[in-house]
Structure 1
Amino acid sequence: MAAMSTTASSDRQARGRNRRGQGERLREDFVEAATRLLDELGDDEALSMRAVARAVGSAATSVYLHFADRDALVLAVLDRCHDELTRAVDDAEAASDDPVTRLRARTLVLGAWAHRHPGLYKVLHESALNERAEMPFKRRLAERATAAVQRCMDAGRAPADDAATVALDLRAAVHGAVSMRLHQPGHPWPPLEEQVERFLVKLVGIRPPAP
């Protein structure tokens, strides 16, 4: 009974801190810890709520006050990753007014992010969550990619076509190039910049740069 009383008292104190604004900070700590662990593991099925709590220095039960289950926590991590990617892509595009330069820059940013965060990239694209959970945040990057391709078409820098279809082909090609590098790191891959340039020429229809 004494142990139960102590636990209940601790829970009440934790909830009290939440009301004073500490709850949101603790939630962010859990997301940050899960992000680091997922990048190391490269597999959301290997992530445990207990490990996340331990990384924060909190009780395992406290994680469940913010996330119903592991899926909810992983989705929060992926949502944050997409927010960061969206900001990075927007910043890269903002450096130029030329639509082709902007499309090239955004494509390379995605490749560079995957290189820095291979574990997160694997979870993002290979997790079974893609089959059982809605990920509306993925649409944001897809819509921006379509808009970037459409700008090239509108400027006469690429043949008129269905921009969404062309953007999907480009994304699939880049994803394949990045994934193969992650899974076969010992292969003598050409620079990603060279492959991306070929994708832009062959899939989008952009004229190749002058030699």
Structure 2
Amino acid sequence: MDATSSASPSSTRGRNRRGQGERLRRDIIDATLRMLDELGDDEALSLRAVAREVGIAATSVYIHFADRDALVFAALEQCTHDLMEDLDRAESVHDDPVSRLRARLLFLGTWVRDHAGLYKVLHESTLNQRMRLVFKEELTVRTTAAVQRCLDAGLAPAGDAATLAFDLRAAVHGSVSIRVNEPGLTWPPLEEQIDRFLTKLVGVSLTDR
């Protein structure tokens, strides 16, 4: 999808009926997420291009979002909410804490591979310097809780879950980020790296898992 492409007159969206304002807002957010995933750069996004993608007038976007930063913030907030639900589902198919934590990290790696553009905007864009993306903090909370469950079950040496989770997240994010930004190079399988991070940083055993 070309961010600058225009919608044909026949594709222009009609006026929303009463009560459909929230639906339009979600349509705008969904279009923004698709475009950000392709662009990989929030500053390359324009509200006018988003409006064309949805099939509405540019002024309709401003009814819901004051400016581009407000729109990108809302889109990334929705993206993060959806990602957390997917991560929780990936964990839920496993019973023991170590397998659940591992599944969480592996799913994140798969998500980044499939949505490299969104990952760059979510974690590497200058929006992170202009605004506090508070919704990302829940990702840290949930990873820390996953590590804490391993400690509580005696499946990892005693330690501070928050510190261990920070080191683990730093390692995993570094690993996926370098793959996103240097896709032409050959890297070891991400699954193997994640297993090493879990054993070396958290101290869990992955035998028979």
What TM-score comes out, normalization by structure 2 length?
A: 0.90
Of 19, 23, 29, the residue aligned with 1:25 is 23
Deviations 1:74-106 (A, max 9, x none): 011111111111111111111111000000000
Identity score, percent:
64
- The CA deviation at 1:121 is 0.3
Question: In structure 1, what is the equivalent of residue 132 of structure 2?
Answer: 134
Distance 1:61 1:173 in 2: 43
What is the number of residues matched between the two proteins? 196
Distance 2:152 2:31 in 1: 43
1:113 counterpart = 2:118: no
Deviations 1:122-181 (A, max 9, x none): 000111111121222111111110000000011111111110111011111011100111
Q: Secondary structure at the match of 1:119?
A: helix
Residues 187 and 21 of structure 1: CA distance in aligned 2, closer, same or farther (over 3 Å): same
> 1:99-110 residue pairs with structure 2 within 5 A?
99-110=97-108
Distance 1:210 1:49 in 2: 51
Distance 2:124 2:189 in 1: 24
More helix by share: 1
> 1:91-170 residue pairs with structure 2 within 5 A?
91-170=89-168
> 1:67-82 residue pairs with structure 2 within 5 A?
67-82=65-80
Question: In structure 1, what is the equivalent of residue 36 of structure 2?
Answer: 38
What TM-score comes out, normalization by structure 1 length?
A: 0.89
Q: Which moved more, 1:196-205 or 1:126-135?
A: 126-135
Q: Which moved more, 1:192-201 or 1:180-189?
A: 180-189
- The CA deviation at 1:207 is 2.3
Distance 2:21 2:150 in 1: 46
Q: CA RMSD in A?
A: 1.6
- The CA deviation at 1:25 is 1.2
Question: In structure 2, what is the equivalent of residue 55 of structure 1?
Answer: 53
Q: Which amino acid aligns with 1:161?
A: G
Distance 2:61 2:206 in 1: 52
Q: Secondary structure at the match of 1:173?
A: helix
1:178 counterpart = 2:176: yes
Question: In structure 2, what is the equivalent of residue 10 of structure 1?
Answer: none
- Which runs of no fewer than 5 residues in structure 1 stay unpaired? 1-12
Distance 2:87 2:20 in 1: 32
Distance 1:196 1:96 in 2: 17
- The CA deviation at 1:210 is 6.2
Q: Which amino acid aligns with 1:102?
A: R
> 1:171-210 residue pairs with structure 2 within 5 A?
171-209=169-207
- Which runs of no fewer than 5 residues in structure 2 stay unpaired? 1-13
